[in-house]
Amino acid sequence: MCGRYSVAVSVKDKNNKASKVARLLEEYQAPARYNAAPSQSLPVVTADEPEKLQLFSWGLLPNWANDRSQTNKPINARAETLLEKPSFRGLISRRRCLVPADGFYEWRKTGDGKVPYRFLLKSEALFSFAGLWDEWTDPETGEVVDSFTIITTEANELMRPIHDRMPVLLHPQEEELWLSGEQANEHLLSLLKPYPSEEMKFYPVSSLVNSPAHDSPEVLEPAPEQGSLF
């Protein structure tokens, strides 16, 4: 799954020149986020407005929900069952989005508790998660709530010792394909695959990441490895 991520790398870095989301983050002067967490308002780019950076709540509130207090607001959507779940099957064809990031966190279970790790590209460049979004309108007040979920797939070889799932990372050339309304579902679903292990790296971080209250550069700092992964 994906329950925390960061979008803190410099958007002016030369590695980000090919990234659509890097250009939009710079244009809209989005603040750095070191420990983005569910329920927070976070930057996304939608197929409806592909040249605009918007802030949506992380945790999908479907348009058919009775009220906003609905407890099941999925932060992740499994790629393998998108067309089966009522919350997602109507969104794959009409409400796709890019979720800018430069890394994400996952926890490894050990005998002494859970150890957090940060996963990122070897280039340390920005990338996009493949996401879905929806718009819910309060029937009494007319208030509109925009929210999103991040699509996950099976883990690649790099991540498998830590967790059996990972978020879907898109290459820069796949961002436009994901946003394009002209692609058939079968083609879009083919993008929802594990990112190549050889293009990624990871390292342990401190328990600061365990609390969303910690949203500072210190969260990104490497911590000593705690035992073998194998």
The 10s digit of each residue's pLDDT in 15-62 is 666 677 888 988 888 899 999 999 999 999 998 999 999 999 999 999
- Output the CA torsion sign for 64, 70, 71, 73: positive
Compute the 3-state secondary structure of the chain and give helix, strand, coil in percent, each to the nearest 5. Answer: 15, 35, 50
Q: What is the CB-side half-sphere exposure of residue 178 using CA atoms within 13 A?
A: 26
Given pLDDT bands bounded at 50, 70 and 90, which one contains residue 229? low
Question: Residue 201 is part of which domain span?
Answer: 5-212
First to last CA, the chain: 21
Give the Cα-Cα-Cα angle 52, 58, 64 (nearest 5 degrees): 95
Position of tokens 């509109």? Answer: 144
Q: Going by C-beta distance under 8 Å and a sequence separation of 6 or more, which residues neighbour residue 15? A: 123, 124, 125, 126
- Tell me, what DSSP letter sits at residue 173? H
Instruction: State what percent of residues in the chain have pLDDT above 70.
Output: 91
> Mean pLDDT, to the nearest integer, of 159-182?
91
Neighbours of 72 (CB within 10 A): 10
Which CATH number do you get for residue 12? 3.90.1680.10
The structural domain count of the chain equals: 1
DSSP secondary structure code for residue 204 in this structure: E
Say which DSSP state 112 is in. T
Q: Do the beta carbons of residue 192 and residue 151 sit within 8 Å?
A: yes
> Which pLDDT band holds residue 133 (cuts at 50, 70, 90)?
very high
The pLDDT assigned to 230 comes to 45
- pLDDT tops 60 at residue 76: yes
- Is residue 227 assigned to a domain? no
Asked if the structure places residue 135 within a domain, the reply is yes
- Asked whether residue 219 is domain-assigned, the answer is no
Q: How many CB atoms lie within 10 A of CB 67?
A: 10
pLDDT of 28 reads 87
Better pLDDT: 134 or 182: 134
Taking only Cα atoms into account, the Rg of the chain, rounded to an integer number of angstroms, comes to 17
Distance CA 96, CA 45 (A): 9
- Kind of pairing between the strands at 5-7 and 33-36: antiparallel
Which residues are designated catalytic?
2, 106
Mean pLDDT for 95-102 is 96
- Residue 171 in any domain: the answer is yes
Residues sharing a CB contact under 8 Å with residue 108, sequence separation 6 or more, in sequence order: 114, 115, 117, 161, 162, 163, 229
Structure tokens at 214: 């910690």
Confirm whether 217 is domain-assigned: no
Does the pLDDT at position 185 exceed 80? no
> Which of these, 167, 126, 144, 130, lies nearest to 55 by C-alpha position?
144
Does some domain include residue 167?
yes
